[in-house]
């Protein structure tokens, strides 16, 4: 079997003790939690999802959600997130030819159509790593990284620096041929990721304008943002962490 035809493992890193906004993945959003909304928006990938969280009693709300909704989960190191990804994939049977999709749980507006297209781009091209985050044309909050299990395994064995262990993909990006999945129109000015309170207020307002639905697509969301410029203004002053692929 070609590595381009392997099984897909959608691994979403999630923890309660975020340094910038504690418990953000369980904040309420239209009658669900942020993490639950994200899972709902990835409905066609439901059987592929693994929530990769860390050990400790503070993660119990995440575990309870996974158990309630029948979502696979793995508990690993808090700081060695690269190790957490590798061990989660290995635990659920990842093989050499399989595909890892890395998502972060601070992206409740993630679009499954964009995730599918990023995976398809990976499969059609000779890259070991593909993302829409190195060269940004999508809003923050659509962040999708796709790479081979082999690349993840090599990173796990060889990455030595603490930021490489914490941020999962720097070693892969440095050591493998990588490509960018680009949008036809540059929407990178929009910030739809959840790091601070202002982000939360902006994301809530967007969901309200979308009728508190989970089934909207990317184009519908962008049209709402264009017609309601105040949403983007709500969190325009929030600064991203220096290493942007972090969580």
**pLDDT tens-digit profile of 161-212?**
999 999 999 999 999 999 999 999 999 999 999 999 999 999 999 999 999 9
Average pLDDT, the chain: 94
Tell me, what's the pLDDT at 243? 52
* CB-based contact 204:29 (threshold 8 Å): yes
pLDDT tens for 97-139 read 999 999 999 999 999 999 999 999 999 999 999 999 999 999 9
Judged against a pLDDT cut of 90, whether residue 5 lies above it is answered with: no
Tell me, yes or no, if the pTM score tops 0.85.
yes
Q: 33: which 2 tokens? A: 């939690």
* CB-based contact 59:38 (threshold 8 Å): no
**How remote is the C-alpha of 188 from its chain's centroid?**
16
How far is 229 from 10, CA to CA, in rounded Å? 32
* CB-based contact 141:118 (threshold 8 Å): no
**Fold held by 3-234:** Spore Coat Polysaccharide Biosynthesis Protein SpsA; Chain A (3.90.550)
């Amino acid at each position: 079997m070609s590595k381009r035809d392997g099984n897909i493992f959608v691994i979403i890193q999630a923890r309660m003790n975020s340094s910038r906004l504690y418990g953000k993945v369980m904040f309420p959003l239209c009658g669900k939690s942020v993490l639950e909304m994200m899972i709902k928006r990835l409905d066609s990938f439901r059987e592929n999802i693994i929530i990769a969280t860390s050990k400790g009693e503070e993660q119990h709300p995440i575990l309870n959600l996974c158990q309630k909704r029948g979502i696979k989960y793995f508990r690993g190191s808090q700081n060695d997130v690269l190790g957490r990804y590798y061990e989660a994939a290995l635990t659920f049977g990842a093989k050499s030819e399989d595909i890892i999709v890395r998502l972060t749980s601070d992206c409740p507006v993630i679009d499954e159509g964009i995730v599918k297209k990023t995976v398809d781009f990976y499969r059609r091209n000779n890259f070991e790593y593909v993302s829409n985050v190195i060269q940004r044309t999508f809003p923050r909050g659509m962040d999708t990284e796709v790479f081979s299990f082999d690349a993840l395994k090599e990173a796990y064995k060889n990455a030595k620096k603490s930021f490489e262990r914490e941020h999962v993909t720097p070693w892969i990006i440095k050591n493998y041929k990588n490509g960018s999945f680009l949008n036809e129109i540059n929407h990178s000015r929009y910030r739809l990721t959840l790091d601070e309170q202002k982000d939360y207020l902006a994301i809530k307002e967007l969901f309200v304008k979308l009728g508190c639905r989970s089934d909207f697509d990317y184009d519908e969301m962008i049209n709402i943002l264009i017609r309601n410029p105040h949403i983007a203004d709500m969190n325009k002053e929030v600064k991203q962490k220096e290493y942007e692929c972090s969580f």
